[in-house]
Amino acid sequence: MIDNSMITSLGERGQTVVPVELREKYGLDAHSKLQWIDDNGTIRVVPLSGDPITALRGSLKGIGLTKALLRQRAKDTKRE
């Protein structure tokens, strides 16, 4: 298990609880919005502030999108 991970349960209606440590750290309350991102094998939950672009900035860092894009462009170039 990852050191900074936390485990919660999913209820019958699909609801879960955000751990108090995370609610306090990110200033979440009953009216906060969360963005759920399906990352093909993982699920990211990102708290949204008033500006969703600012809130999501850097959320995909480290998953290799630039390398994947460059590989795809190289393949496309070969086909042309």
**pLDDT at 2 (0 to 100):** 55
**pLDDT at 50 (0 to 100):** 59
pTM above 0.85, yes or no: no
Q: Would you give per-residue pLDDT tens digits along the chain (80 residues)?
A: 456 788 999 999 999 999 999 888 888 888 888 989 998 888 989 888 756 566 566 666 766 778 888 888 888 888 87
Q: Alpha-carbon distance 33 to 60, whole Å?
A: 18
Those residues whose C-beta lies under 8 Å from the C-beta of residue 60, and which sit 6 or more positions away, are 39
**pLDDT at 12 (0 to 100):** 95
Q: How far apart are the first and last CA of the chain?
A: 45
**pLDDT at 18 (0 to 100):** 93
